[in-house]
Chains A and B, each alone.
Chain A
Amino acid sequence: MSENKFTCLHDKHVAQGALMSPFGGFDMPIQYAGIVEEHNAVRNAVGVFDVSHMGEVHITGPEAQKFVNYIFTNDITKMEVGGIQYGMMLYPDGGTVDDLLVYTMGENDYFLVINAANIDKDVAWINEQAVKFDVKVDNQSESYGQIAVQGPEAEKTMKAVLDIDCTDLTFYTFKLVNYHGDNIIVSRTGYTGEDGFEVYASHDTIRDMWDMLMTAGVQPCGLGCRDTLRFEVGLPLYGDELTPEITPIMAGFGFFVKLDKEDFIGKDVCAKQKAEGAPKKLVGLELHDKAIPRHGYEVCNENDEPVGYVTTGYRGISVDKSIAVALVDAAYGKLGTPLKVHIRKKYFDATVVKKKFHDKSYKK
């Protein structure tokens, strides 16, 4: 194993006393004040995350639109400049390479935001597919730092602390801002289920912004609460809810797979699963007890026979219940189905529920 990489804010996390742990090949802050406090700050006010570990890939060239639409499940031809789409890159068998955001920077000019743990794999995959297209693939992951300002007070904070007016940005759009001479990207996006913004900029600019946000008393947040926040609102984490074995159809993200557009990698399998039903399904589970289901725990039917496993589970923070998302055989995927979760030595009763446990509060 190679050493974990540092983001441009690493020294600040350490100096501020954050609990650090490896994630996606980076030494990242897991928590500052505590997961519960940080989670509640984002749900009720505002918090800031260092998400500089995320990867950025710039794709340009005469066939950039055609190419990105071929490796991506959503339909980027429907997007205007300044627009952003969420979707997946798939293997030919429909399994997920990664889930990502595509920013439309201009005609045949796209900015892809990918998961930290997948940067090397994704870039290799993209380059492999790009051979047949007239495009240029530029991995800019090392050049960008990124912060996410999230919560109902995010818009106010962006203006008051960073002097960036975001009132003109609608959900899933971005703008380029000249910030003291640095060209930065500001988008109304996030991974918490709350209103919020993500800023992509040079390392120096991100460091300056972080200092200003800290001076203003904005709660620094770690990846711990990023996971509880995204989980409660049903957002997937690559590696848990999306993997090379899990298609977006199994995961219930068919909305982001546009089967009516021209060919893209993985289309056939997705079309078949959509028509005939996928063999497995991602479901929400609510336990009847306080015991906590964790990633990898076995899910069983009423006869204690294994029918799947937990992909993510927590004692909810905004939701005062033990809840999980699990991948189960499709026969057990209907709402209301009684199932059991094997936790240590016991089996705990659970019921299949919607996997969005808490409502999102996006500002559309």
Chain B
Amino acid sequence: MSKIIDGLYYSESHEFVKVEGDFGYVGITDYAQHELGNVVYVDMPEVDDEVEAGEDFGAVESVKAASDLVSPVSGTVVEVNEALEDEPGLINKDAFENWIIKVELSDKSELDGLMDAAAYKAFINE
């Protein structure tokens, strides 16, 4: 069973957003890391890059394949999780703890278009 955390927002492409004030931590869900297998590389944007909801902002790569990261929110990247540069496998250990980018949200109403934990749970069990 994949882990799902209450209080986060989820996208259909299996990213999550954890909101703290005007900021959102974006990463991939436990379900996504499980489907990918061993993560060997995370292609991340740089600080000050703009991300747009529904657009690619990087990729998570397993041994076998690259999967695009699609941003669930729009805004400015204020921090990237540098620990993933040296140890991308942290995502397999705990996907929710190891967020990928921290975004200063430009439009918090975008969160309304995302799923809550219960809806995401139903979505991955479809």
A interface with B by C-beta (< 8 Å): 19, 30-31, 34-36, 224, 228, 290-292, 294, 314-315, 317, 322, 343-344
Contacts and interface: CB of A to CB of B under 8 A. Distances in A.
A315 B65 contact: no
Contacts of B79: none
B85 interface: yes
B65 A36 contact: no
A315 B40 contact: yes
Contacts of B41: 290-292, 315, 322
A34 B35 CA distance: 11
Given A315-B61, A344-B43, A344-B59, A294 B66 contact: yes
Among A30, A35, A292, A314: residue with most chain B CB under 10 A: A292
A283 to B, nearest CB: 22
Majority SS at the chain A contact face: mixed
A317 B62 CA distance: 12
25 contacts: A19-B37, A30-B64, A31-B37, A34-B37, A34-B38, A35-B37, A35-B38, A35-B63, A35-B64, A36-B63, A224-B37, A224-B64, A290-B85, A291-B43, A292-B40, A292-B41, A292-B66, A294-B65, A294-B66, A315-B41, A315-B61, A315-B63, A317-B63, A344-B43, A344-B56
Interface string B31-66: 000000110110100000000000010010111111
Interface residues of B, number: 14
A343 B56 CA distance: 13
Q: Which 9 A-B pairs have the closest CB atoms?
A: A315-B40, A35-B63, A36-B38, A292-B61, A292-B41, A290-B41, A34-B38, A315-B41, A224-B64
Contacts of A343: 43
A34 B33 CA distance: 12
A322 B40 CA distance: 10
A182 to B, nearest CB: 35
A344 B62 CA distance: 16
